[in-house]
Amino acid sequence: MELLIDTNVIIDYFMNRDQKNSGTDELFEYIHEGKISAYIAAHTVPTIWYILRKSLAPAERRNLLRALFSCFSISSVGEKELLSALDRDDFSDFEDCVQDECATSIHARYIITRNKKDFSHSRIPALLPEEFISLMG
């Protein structure tokens, strides 16, 4: 089963934000143990770098991102995904639309996000981490 993990879930995990009873720790355990195939969109990497710049030194950010590459595959963002996202007017946030295009390109079963409402027009169903963990039972 392939999943695309939204940027906000990764950042929450790295910053230890809102993880109690949220399913994020269990999700990352499944990923680390290889029980699921997890992807991040290529544009997630520079976004994480930018967001973490105020709380982590460059060396710490590099180490975190290298660790991310050990557990996650990367869904490319190319001309096809960007043009397809530009053609869609059903998303209010372009970046979320690009996430959906990346999830579609890898045939993801779900997008795991903290903001399900932002994916109400997604081709791929969006779940909160805790919803996904409940499905896994």
Tracing tokens 């979320």 back to the chain, one arrives at 96
| Helix, strand and coil percent figures for the chain, each rounded to 5 | 55, 10, 35
| Sequence-separated (6 or more) residues with CB below 8 Å from residue 16 | none
- Rounded to 5 degrees, φ, ψ at 28 are -65, -30
Closest CA to 75 of 47, 100, 48: 100
Return per-residue pLDDT of the chain as tens, 137 residues.
999 999 999 998 888 776 566 889 899 999 999 999 999 999 999 999 999 999 999 999 999 999 999 999 999 999 999 999 999 999 999 999 999 999 999 999 999 999 999 999 999 999 999 999 999 98
